Amino acid sequence: MVDEPSVARQTSRVHGIGGKPLIVAGILLGIVAIAGVFAIALNLVSQQGARPKPGSPAPDFTLALYPGYRAGLPEQIRLSDLRGQVVVMNFWASWCVECYKEADALEAVYRKYKDRGVIFLGIDYLDTEAPALAYLKQYDVTYPNGLDVQQRIARAYRITGVPETFFIDRNGVVREVIIAPLTEAQLIAKIEALLAE
Amino acid sequence: MLRFAVHTLRLISLLFVVVCLVGRPIIAQVPAPDEATYRIAKQLNCPTCAGRNLADCPTETCAQWKAEIKAQLDMGKSAQEVLDYFQARFGPTVLQEPPKTGVTAPLWAAPVGAALVFLLAAGAVMLRAARHNPLTDVAAADPAEDPFVSALEEEVRRNG
């Protein structure tokens, strides 16, 4: 009797199925390459960080203000330079329908508190200049506003859309995030709470 | 029944021809989009809806961006200058084809690398298979030295 495994081994050899290790190596290399690409993608995502939670320090940034919307501040401002004041930071865009609903309230409350240690910052998100300036003019906005170039601030604060408003206390700590249009009453209540501290 | 089917088919064919003939001038009457703006918009992404081309997006944001492209072209800027403006303002992700440098370079290189690895592996397997051609291997091999052939011959002799 012929030993069957031996015959099978010999048949394999005769038919030249010796390329298996190479195929396996190719597949492994492919898996390694795909894993590498995923690792790079994951690294990019993790670099963006998490949304600053209430109680965490507000990520610092610089913002170039639109001409005519500087409210006495320099052309470029840094958030950390505003330490000691309550900051109401509002992300908006001229194409954002919900932003229209809070535009009047933001401006009215800014005028009410601007001399009481409260500063409003408008962060214009994914906007083109002409419609943005038209929007500011339409709602008679006077508080500092500027374009978020390359969405760096939006990424640092991990916004999910517009409008979003961050309330930052005098120590530069994020105290509250509101993802909806705000009313005058809501703005006043939140600012008063921060001023009372 | 067959006659009815033939008539129906004729009617559908006739309708098709009429639609083709009448439809063409109607389509032609629609004002053509600004070609230059469209060509640039095709190279940009909608900023608010993931994966959508700016040229084909009907949102308010995209309408504003297309107006901005047209305004810049009217000012005498070239297509590349307009694209550079959008990239500087909104980042490289705004481009349909991000630059092949920096962190995106591995993503561009990965498919080429994978194809090369595949070709090398396939080439090696084919080369190996060609070297170990079963027909030539069997012909060239000395039957006396091949344990498989020896075992087979032994089996034949025994049962013989």
**Cα dist. B62→A24, A26, A71, A178, B17 in Å?**
48, 45, 30, 26, 37
Q: Chain B residues contacting A, CB < 8 Å?
A: 47-48, 59-61, 64-65, 67-68, 71, 88-91, 103, 106-107, 110, 113-114, 117-118, 120-122, 124-125, 128-129, 132-134, 137-138, 146-148, 151-152, 155
Measured in residues, chain A has a length of: 197
Inter-chain contact A16–B134, Cβ cutoff 8 Å? yes
Distance CA A21, CA B27 (A): 60
How many other CB atoms sit within 10 Å of the CB of residue A178? Answer: 17
Smallest CA–CA separation between A130 and chain B, in Å? 8
What percent of chain A has pLDDT above 70?
A: 84
**Per-residue pLDDT tens digits for A156-194:** 999 999 999 999 999 999 999 999 999 999 999 999 999
Query: With 90 as the cut, is the pLDDT of residue B108 above it?
Result: no
Instruction: Give me the pLDDT at residue B110, please.
Output: 82
A34: confidence class by pLDDT, cuts 50, 70, 90: confident
Mutation target for B interface from A15, A91, A95, A151: give the one with most B CBs within 10 A.
Answer: A95
Dihedral sign for Cα atoms in the order B61, B67, B73, B79: positive
Q: Looking at the domain B33-99, which fold is it?
A: Helicase, Ruva Protein; domain 3 (1.10.8)
At A16, the pLDDT band (50, 70, 90 cuts) reads very low
Q: CB count, 10 Å around CB of B84?
A: 12
Angle subtended at Cα B29 by Cα B27 and Cα B34, rounded to the nearest 5 degrees:
95
B137 contacts A128? CB cut-off 8 A: no
Picking from A110, A136, A138, the residue whose alpha carbon sits closest to that of residue A123 is A136
Among the partner residues A1, A26, A44, nearest to B117 by beta-carbon distance: A26
Helix (H/G/I), strand (E/B), else coil: B43: coil
pLDDT at A15 over 80: no
ipTM tops the 0.90 cut: no
The mean pLDDT value for A25-47 works out to 71
Instruction: Please write the tens of the pLDDT for every residue from A136-160.
Output: 999 999 999 999 999 999 999 999 9
Gap from B90 CA to chain A (nearest CA, Å): 4
8 A C-beta contact, residue A155 and residue A34:
no
| Phi and psi, residue A90, nearest 5° | -115, 120
pTM: 0.67
Question: For chains A and B, what is the number of CB pairs under 8 angstroms?
Answer: 96
Contacts of B90 in chain A (CB under 8 A): 126, 150-151
How is chain B split into domains, by residue range? 1-30, 33-99, 104-159
User: Is A1 or B88 the better-scoring residue by pLDDT?
Assistant: B88
Question: What is the distance between the terminal CA atoms of chain A, rounded to a whole angstrom?
Answer: 96
H or E segment and range at residue B127: helix B105-131
